[in-house]
Structure 1
Amino acid sequence: MADSIIDLNDVRLVLSGNAGPIEIIKGISLSVGRGESIGLVGPSGSGKSSLLMLMGGLEQASAGRILALGHDLTAMDEDALARFRRQNMGIVFQSFHLIPTMTALENVAVPLELSGAPDAFARAAEELDAVGLSARMDHYPAQLSGGEQQRVALARAVVGRPAILLADEPTGNLDGATGATIMDLLFGLRDRHGATLILVTHAPELADRCDRIIRLQDGRIAGAETSRKVAE
């Protein structure tokens, strides 16, 4: 694909189980274009989240090659991968993974502080305002609703202006109305920052908001299609 931002070539993931090695990802090749939004769909156990973790360097491929922004993730050690993610990726999980002893503002500022940004708190405040939490910046996670915590997680994911935004079932722990609001914010932030978005979801209506839908089955790509949004 011209101007691709992520390229996977015959990627495999084998994990150890009680009954021996289990092949989770079975030879996937995929290119994601710069600025594209991809919906990864499929039944539970099909390998969606594992594929996302491989793209983010959170799992190490057992075989094959993964390039992100021209860098070979499969050749990096854990420290190099952590630095690459901090500089180039934002990740949103189903569980919010906020630091309970830090305020919303401090949680969002963490990746910038790790990068040595002098304006970490000003930029964190700007992103919290963008997700509608300007009045909740000094609250701790336990003082926030689930939807508010996910908004903080979204702000933290995009505060570093990442080129790649990965989201693993970001509405999975939220009710329908709150989840819809979070998805509006996610796509709005993606558009605002021009990031490439890769989204794991079980919800067809969310996948349809992406440019392209990749269907997984038993660790393989079972199909790929342009979403109805693009087709229309």
Structure 2
Amino acid sequence: MGNILSQEPIINLKDIHLTLKSDAGPVNILRGIDLTVQRGETVGIVGPSGSGKSTLMSIMAGLELPSAGSVTIAGEHLEKLDEDALARFRRANIGIVFQSFHLIPTMTALENVAIPLELAGERAAFSIAAARLSAVGLADRASHYPAQLSGGEQQRVALARALSTNPKILLADEPTGNLDGKTGELIVELMFRLHAEEGTTMILITHDDTLARKCTHRVRLEDGHVVSNDKVREEAIAGD
């Protein structure tokens, strides 16, 4: 039984459609997406602007529900959950890193990382948050506010926050998009190191094909369709 369960994909999307209404008529964002991801894999999702990458991430996170299709994440059918149940599911299973960081400006780095832990009722929220900040190299910046941090430091705080509750899945939307090249490389190295240490399934939404090819799989979207899903060469993974 255990072996069978371990082989079940942690992300299983079947025939996902998302159609939004507009004054000009319906707009088809996703058009029949099928995608499975196994536990512990890293997947880079690439494609031109407007291809549906960020929308697909929102579907995986339960932030957006599809117009049609089945979304099974960590064994849960998200399309069957109400808003409260979706919020509880995300809190227990998913960490999200946004391109624009989404830190609360009136809270310190430590307080920002502790938020999801406090919402989960964790009594040791601040000690866990401090350990997470230390893991991303920011122990000495815990009392600083976002405006006092560089872009790379803010992204590291956002990463620490996303990983604070030990999520099964980490979703990152253009995690290096607002960073310079050198800082972006450091963030990518950090994300893959933490992934290797903790075995978190990681989904990266990116315009950077080089970043996508650091993953175990590279998925390309165009016009709401998956047009390719390639396993990256083992040598490339080992080399990184």
Question: What TM-score, normalized to structure 2?
Answer: 0.94
> How do 1:16-27 and structure 2 match up within 5 A?
16-27=21-32
Q: Which of 88, 110, 127 lines up with 2:115 in the alignment?
A: 110
Q: Which of 161, 186, 189 lines up with 2:191 in the alignment?
A: 186
> How do 1:1-232 and structure 2 match up within 5 A?
2-228=7-233, 229-230=236-237
CA distance in 2, matches of 1:137, 1:7: 37
CA distance in 2, matches of 1:85, 1:189: 20
* SS in structure 2 of the partner of residue 127 of structure 1: helix
Amino acid at match of 2:163: V
CA distance in 2, matches of 1:108, 1:81: 21
Deviations 1:100-143 (A, max 9, x none): 11100000000000001111111100010111111100000111
CA distance in 1, matches of 2:146, 2:175: 17
Aligned 8 A contact 1:167 1:199 in 2: yes
CA distance in 2, matches of 1:184, 1:231: 13
Amino acid at match of 2:158: A
* SS in structure 2 of the partner of residue 34 of structure 1: coil
Task: Give the aligned CA root-mean-square deviation in angstroms.
Answer: 1.4
* SS in structure 1 of the partner of residue 26 of structure 2: strand
Amino acid at match of 1:95: S
Can you give the 5+ residue segments of structure 2 that lack an aligned partner in the other structure? 1-5
Deviations 1:16-44 (A, max 9, x none): 22312101000111111010111101111
CA drift of 1:231 comes to 9.1
Question: What TM-score, normalized to structure 1?
Answer: 0.97
Aligned length: 232
CA distance in 2, matches of 1:86, 1:231: 32
Query: 2:3: which partner in 1?
Result: none
CA distance in 1, matches of 2:51, 2:100: 20
